[in-house]
Structure 1
Amino acid sequence: MTGESPERFFNLCAASGLDIWDVIFSKGNYIFSMGIHDFFSSKPFIKKAKIRLRIQQKLGLPFFLHKNRKRKLWAAGFLSFFVFLWVLSFFVWDIGYQGNVMYTDDELSHFLDTLGIHCGIMKNQVSCEELEAALRNEYEGITWVSARLSGTKLYIHVKENDVPLEIPVKDDSPCDLAAESDGTITSMIVRSGTPLVKPGDEVEKGQILVSGMVPITDDGGTVISGRYVHSDADIIAVRERTESREIPLWHEKEEKTGRVRKGLMMNIKEHSFVWLLPNFRNTEWKTVTEIRKIRLFGDFYLPMELGFITSCEVSSYDVKYTEKELEELGEAYKNEIAEKLMEKGVQIIENNVKILVNGSSCRFEVTMRTEESIEMETEIEAQGETQGEQPADEHN
């Protein structure tokens, strides 16, 4: 704004209720902002104040649309994008499961496919109540189901039954208890049957430890008959274990060269599109792809996945294990066996490993001294008296 009385112009605008803001005085000129309606209403004041107004910049949606009125394709594309998103919002593009341990996601998804529920189905075709009832009827281990639609995602939350569905039937058929391996008995608690060994005895594999035949004696102690029962006992013994593994002495080793290629992958339904520079040198590469489901916000998922590809060039060559590496492998093998046995309740007393190199191979031999349960059931034929129950007794 330039002219004789800019202050009078401001006073007239203020008296008439016209809004003016961001007033700046620079190089003898006033620069300010005002609304388009107020601008046209201020024209009578321009003559009274003897000033000149020149528009420097026009801001706002009406001016933007007028400026780009010839860009019809751009406007159509912009509008089509939001129409496309609006159409996608009527479909289910992702299914999530929560609380399932006994039944995997793939197993539940396969069952949903049989019901016609899958990614791409319209949301109005999904009845959450019917889906919940179908899952409860199909899987006995599921006691509670909650299905809900949020955005373009179907959430299925289940609770599984922690109590066994079937109570195992107790086996009361007559049997003996035999040694599963050689060893020395350290403790013995017999609840049913006749013990044939005692703590401190050395036993062999297959030897009967507890007989299923319980003798019946008269008042004089003479055996007059017997009855056959299901032997039951806890028999602990010290035994020797041996395990072995053989590996080639030479193995392939990979080293990264430092060359890296990065790219993108787009999955749309069953179609995949990959953008990655080709391997012009025909060398070996190790590729890792991190795939993410695309969502705009919240639970608004789209029917596509975006993958970030990282490919590293590697150089492979054969190398021989060093003595230190063999020792580390042997120690790891020994610890692996020990962990598996301890998970079963086996107590490790001694644990040693030998490393035997023979030509182009290496053999690890693990010898262990353990304390564990060694009884196993063996069937017998009931003879004499009919099968009965023996009062519980303990033998230490």
Structure 2
Amino acid sequence: MSVRKLTASLLTALLMLSGFATASVSAQEHFPAADPLAFDPDFRWFEPIYDMDLADLKPKHRANTGWFATYDRLNLYGSRPELNDPQVAETKLDSGWGHRYEIGYMLPDVDSGWLFSSVQSGVGEFFTVARERVNRVNEDGFQLGDGLAGPPFGFIVPAADDNTPGLNTRTYFVQDTENVFSFNSYELSKTWRMEPYHYGGIMEPMVGLRWFRIEDLDSRQNYISSLDIDQSIGGNPPLSEFGDAVEQLTTNQSVTQNDTLTAQLGFRYTKFRDRFTFSSDFRAFAGHNWQCAYSTTATEITIYDGTGVGSEVDNILYRQTRPIYERNEEFVVGFDVRGEVGYQVSKMIKVRTGFQLIDMARGIWRGGSSASGVNPLGGGDNDQDLLLVGATFGIELNR
């Protein structure tokens, strides 16, 4: 091969390679955004970060990008239901605990993404009176009998005849609910990230849907026995029909469920300063609430062979009425306010604390049905409010 032909071949190969490289660069300019499910295998969550690193980062670069998640432990106080009883303190708040989870994804190029948030909280406040039962103590729980070992090496059969765990006596805990409910909320929002303000604050508007369920319990218990001084307190039927050693526990229970679907509009404002992050959220929601209530009465009658210590249980009679159902529909409006301060511990981990206030201003049914006649307090209004407010503390992870 001559030198001229060799040179021509080399030039042709170089031109082809150059064309391929140019086409590759041009194609990369039009590639779609990165696949959000293509996780980066970099799991150096505890890699240290220094103040100089944070000082060099602009606010937009410090904000969450890609996948991020948070967990917060909630200590929220809940308002009491509005019942047809003037002695019920409607303005009193009772302590409760819960959890809050958030998972989000923010596209760094177009500054938009999605945010999923879940809140579970509840309050359980009872008025409790301990009442010793007719036979007071089951002696089989403390000694060996007929060659069979009792507790802790054996078992009382049936288990209902055993002593109350932790007390070594037979005791009923007669409870009336003061404020008992559970709150579960799920929300999905589309978010946008605005350009940072002059002093570094970042605004993120959001719009989405929110579904939450509120389940409220109203329960009243009454205990009477043949040992009561006031024998005029009779059962239905009277206890005297069952003998001279008998007791009865009656439970009137009413449960109301609120299933609510709302539209939601809000924003999040974030400000960075050194290792600290200050943020606030506001979300307003409005929608429809499908309400359902059911009420039952349960009776437990225990018949003994005597009234002394160690008397045996002859029989236990259980009775329960069929549930009585009611339904209703209401319009709900409310808002959710959050404020937090976080501290950057490592490159990807931040600890934070703050507060949260959730106010459902109207359209919530609590206190059970007023038409069933089961609730001694007459039930509650189906157009009430519910307030949750308290402290939060948790952790944030950003890839």
TM-score, reference length from structure 2: 0.17
TM-score, reference length from structure 1: 0.17
User: Which structure carries more relative contact order (alpha carbon 8 Å, separation 6+)?
Assistant: 2
Between structure 1 and structure 2, the one with the greater Rg is 1
